[in-house]
Structures are given as C-alpha cells and as structure tokens.
Amino acid sequence: MPPTTHQARRRRRLRAAGVLTLLTAVVGGGAYLAVTQLNSSEVLVRERCSAVVGTDTYELRPEQAANASTIAGVAVTRGLPPRAASIALATAVQESGLRNLDYGDQAGPDSRGLFQQRPSQGWGSEEQVQDPIYAAGAFYDALVEVPAYQTLPITEAAQLVQRSAYPDAYADHEPEARAFASALTGQSPASLNCVLRKAEEPGNAVAVAERFAAVFPTVATSPSENGMVASASGSVGWAAAQFAVAHAKELGISTVSHAGLRWDRNDGGWTTAETETGQILITLAEAP
C-alpha cells in the first residue's frame, strides 16, 4: 500500500534530521581533529637549544642551555677569555650534566650544584654552591690560579681545579663545550638557537632585568612597552643577546633582536631585522 501524504512527510523530516545529525558530527569531529592536531603539533615540538660552529652542531635542553649561558656570562663579566668558559662548561657537563643538582654521590656525598662543589672542601656553603652565579665564580677563582691554564688541554686544566676521580672524562665534552662557549661568550654571533613551544605564561620584565643585572651588571637595561632594552655591543652584546635566547623558556621571552638580526620563538631561528646599534631588544610573551 503506498504511503499516505502524512507518512511521506514524516519520512522526509526523519531523513533530513539524520543528514543534519551526520553533518554536525562530521563538522564537530573535524573541528576536534583540527584542535587536536594543533595541540599535538605543540606537544611534538622537541624543545632544544643548539650551538653551531662551522659544520658542527651540538644540542642542550633549555634548562642546560640556561645554565651554560650563566657560566659563560660570568666569564664575560670577569673579562676572562673564551677558553675559561670552555673549561668551565666541559667541567659542568661532566660533573652535573649542566643541571643544578641538590645531591652528591658516593665519592662526594656533600657535592652540590653545577660543578658538584663540596662545602666540606671549602667551596662555600651548600646554599652558595647551588647558586649558579656563585658556583661559576668560585670555579673561575680557582681556575685563574692554575699556571698557564689557557695553554693546557681542557682536561688537565679542569682536573687541576676539580681534583676528580675521573680526570680523563672532561676531554669527552670538549667539542660541545667549545661550541657553546664560542656562542655564549659572543665570539660567534647568532650561533645559538633555541626551538621552543609557545609560552605557557606571560613574560616578566622584572625577572628578566634582575637576571641580566645578576650576570651582566655592567649592561644597562631599561623597560620597553612590551619587554626590555639592554645596551651592549661587540662580543658582550652578542653574549647578552644569546643569554636572553638561552633563558627564553624560563623567562617567557618571545623575540631577541641585536645587530641587525632577530631570534623569534615562533620561528625558532635568526632572521634579518632592523635594530638600533648597540641595543638588544627583548620582547616578552603575552598571556596565552
């Protein structure tokens, strides 16, 4: 029996509702997939900082790079040669993996910090040796007392400071130490690059200024509309600029511009940019 007019209309309404439900599911699923893919792309970013010297590239995690830049920055502020930073970085990589450790080992149960310095051996208090700036300064205080340390192999110079049970191990880290020292002391401009995810919190201009003042006390800084301006040029300028890049994850920094180049967190690299001579322009991340 053919359907009545009422039955036919009812069937058409049901078919239309089914199509609408299907379209809603497809569109909603597509939007969910797009958001998921976007979030996944951020999660899949492998955060890292690299130093490029010639054809060689070496990588550190952002936390390690920040500590490396502090060690190198202290050398720059003290007027020490890049060789001193190379020795210090090779030592810290071997002793702590460039992590500010709050524990020691069987050979030195009271060892602490980047250099695993022992309070019982006169390096300072436990609190002091876990301050990266103090620890780096203490290391350099001992290093400059080593006769002709600049001409010694890195492993020998490091051992004369550290008195390690494994003195040959320092040599294993010499290539990467030299690469990061060259970048972070400003000898190799724009050779430090950090690939980072989007900032989870807005940057803090006060924290950035305080960090600069602690490591580069002779570099004048002033607040800007969306960040900070530092005044420095030459190798000191590049040391300070790449110090900011190395601390970008921790301090919520979005871009760093200096000497005609700009590092951009979103792009993960250095590109040309107009900048004022002798200035480092730092912009901070906004609230997500």
DSSP character at residue 219: S
pLDDT (tens place) for every residue of the chain, 288 residues total: 444 444 444 454 444 444 334 333 433 444 333 333 334 455 677 899 999 888 889 999 999 999 999 999 999 999 999 999 999 999 999 999 999 999 988 778 999 999 999 999 999 999 999 999 999 999 999 999 999 999 999 999 999 999 876 767 888 899 999 999 999 999 999 999 999 999 999 999 999 999 999 999 999 999 998 999 999 999 999 999 999 999 999 999 999 999 999 999 988 899 999 888 999 999 999 987
Q: Are 129 and 115 in contact (CB under 8 A)?
A: yes
CB neighbours (10 Å) of residue 44? Answer: 9
Kindly report the pTM of this predicted structure: 0.84
- pLDDT for the residue 107: 73
Q: Which residues contact 84 (CB under 8 A, 6 or more apart)?
A: 75, 140, 143, 144, 149, 150
Q: Are 98 and 92 in contact (CB under 8 A)?
A: yes
Distance set, CA 143 to CA 21, 126, 166 (Å): 74, 21, 18
Q: Which residues contact 7 (CB under 8 A, 6 or more apart)?
A: none
Residue-range domain boundaries for the chain: 58-184, 197-284
Q: Which residues contact 121 (CB under 8 A, 6 or more apart)?
A: none
For 156, list phi and psi in degrees, rounded to 5.
-70, -45
Q: Are 51 and 179 in contact (CB under 8 A)?
A: yes
Could you identify the residue written with the tokens 């040391």?
Answer: 239
- pLDDT for the residue 165: 67
Q: Which residues contact 165 (CB under 8 A, 6 or more apart)?
A: 107
For 222, list phi and psi in degrees, rounded to 5.
-150, 150
Distance set, CA 130 to CA 114, 164, 176 (Å): 7, 19, 23
Instruction: Measure the CA–CA gap between 185 and 167, rounded to whole angstroms.
Output: 25
Q: Are 220 and 280 in contact (CB under 8 A)?
A: no
> How far is CA 35 from its chain centroid?
28
> How far is CA 251 from its chain centroid?
10
Q: Are 202 and 254 in contact (CB under 8 A)?
A: no
